[in-house]
Amino acid sequence: MSSEPLSHGPFTNQRTGWCITAPASGSITARVAFCDAADPAQQWRVYFADNPNGPPSGWYDVWQSVSNGLCLSTPSVRNGTVVQTTPCDPSDQYDRWHQQ
């Protein structure tokens, strides 16, 4: 794993091989679908990245959809919480994602 954050690409589920797909517009639920390299709804770019605590905590990234300009987020940290897209806010901890 690189010490630098990934800058662009899809999120692929390791088990299913499906990709996180952004909704067409609005702050609504993201979905998973068969991966399609030509689908901009499956392309994500880093909107903001930081490593505030240094190693070993690592980078966190705020991921923005190439297609709708919204960022991946969750409304809570409970099990079963649905991933959604919302306006990008690097100060919102629910918008921050760590690479494992």
Domain boundaries, the chain: 8-93
Show the tokens assigned to 26: 């609005």
Band of residue 56 on the pLDDT scale cut at 50, 70, 90: low
Phi-psi region of 52 (alpha: psi -120 to 50; beta: other; left: phi over 0): alpha
At 25, the amino acid letter reads S
User: pLDDT averaged over the chain?
Assistant: 85
**Of 54 and 21, more confident:** 21
Tell me if 72 sits within 8 A of 92, measured CB to CB: no
- For 4-50, the pLDDT digits (tens) are 444 678 889 889 999 999 998 776 899 999 999 899 999 999 999 88
Return the CATH number of 8-93, one of 2.80.10.50, 3.40.50.620, 2.70.98.10, 3.40.50.360.
2.80.10.50
The pLDDT of residue 16 is: 94
Q: What is the pLDDT of residue 55?
A: 66
